[in-house]
Amino acid sequence: MVATAELAYDSRNVLGECPIWSPELQNLLWVDIQGKQIWAYDPESNTAEKWDVPKRPGSFALVKGASPTKKLLVAFEDSVSLYSLEENKVIEKLDDFEADISNTRANDGRADRQGRFVISGYNENYREDGKASAGIWRLDASRKLTKLVQQGVKVGNGLAFSLDGSTMFFCDSPTKEIRSYAYDADTGTVKEDKMEVFWKMPQDKEGITDGSAVDSEGYLWTAWFGQGKVIRISPKGEIDREIALPVPNPTCVAFGGKNLDTLFITTTRRRMTDEELQKYPSAGSLFMIKLSDVKGVEESEFVL
């Protein structure tokens, strides 16, 4: 039998993404990109808090040593900035994001095992122009973005790092495949000639690959957008198990809870018809499932 995730919080985000567990807050944080919000869910009280932000937040990272101000590193649509949840404002803009490229915005991002932030872009016109015009970038303590991969992307997603930090997982969602890159953990650089296709969606299946996370055994969990499920992929690139959802479009996953044994799943209701929303009223909400035999690892923090 395939296990089914249950509703955690009925947030009904337009585009929920980038769930991250905060050990300090004991909350699950995530963004609603199109809703221009950052959310926090407390599993103990089953309550949530949200912050309206000035621009669309594509992703974020926790910041090491920033607990006094609840500081986040947020990749807004056109910049990467330090943001204070307590003050609900941008503290400092660190760098612009693809200011010289039209129609792209910041999308999926994640801190590597050494505390650098890796972020991918999204060509918002890719359905019309078909161009892989966005990029994959790295932000480190220099506070400047450096291009990490020379090959362009249409919809950058699925960024995750192996337990030892030597592999970077990534997907350009329209390609329906997950790539693995050899990643130099010491320098924060990618060996593009060592790129391999880690997993490819079967041709007869609908949907796209979306956000991912690595568990304590080194397996990759990925949201299968359009199929209403999350899959766990072994290091050999084989599907190990599936988690079903009562909505069709999961976007990203994260491990959380006191023991990191709960899988949280963000979803979207963007581009769904009125008929589809009537059928799936909780689309866009936060879902969860308690796992009995698998745990996650703590999310890496950005190091200034």
pLDDT at 1: 64
Q: Is 52 an active-site residue?
A: no
* For residue 65, pLDDT beyond 90: no
Class in CATH terms, 3-290: mainly beta
Binding-site residues for substrate sit at 105, 107
103: tokens are 């129609």
Stretch 37-47: mean pLDDT:
98
* For residue 61, pLDDT beyond 80: yes
pLDDT at 70: 83
Binding-site residues for a divalent metal cation sit at 17, 157, 210
pLDDT at 2: 84
How do residues 225-258 score in pLDDT, each as one tens digit? 999 999 999 999 999 999 999 999 999 999 999 9
Stretch 28-41: mean pLDDT:
98
Confidence label for 68 from pLDDT (cuts 50, 70 and 90): low
* Summary mean pLDDT of the chain: 96
Catalytic residue among 210, 261, 274, 293: 210
How do residues 193-215 score in pLDDT, each as one tens digit? 999 999 999 988 999 999 999 99
pLDDT at 136: 98
Strands 16-22 and 239-244: unpaired
pLDDT at 67: 65
Stretch 15-42: mean pLDDT:
97
Binding-site residues sit at 17, 105, 107, 157, 210
Stretch 49-54: mean pLDDT:
97
pLDDT at 66: 66
The structural domains of the chain, with segments of one domain joined by +, span: 3-290
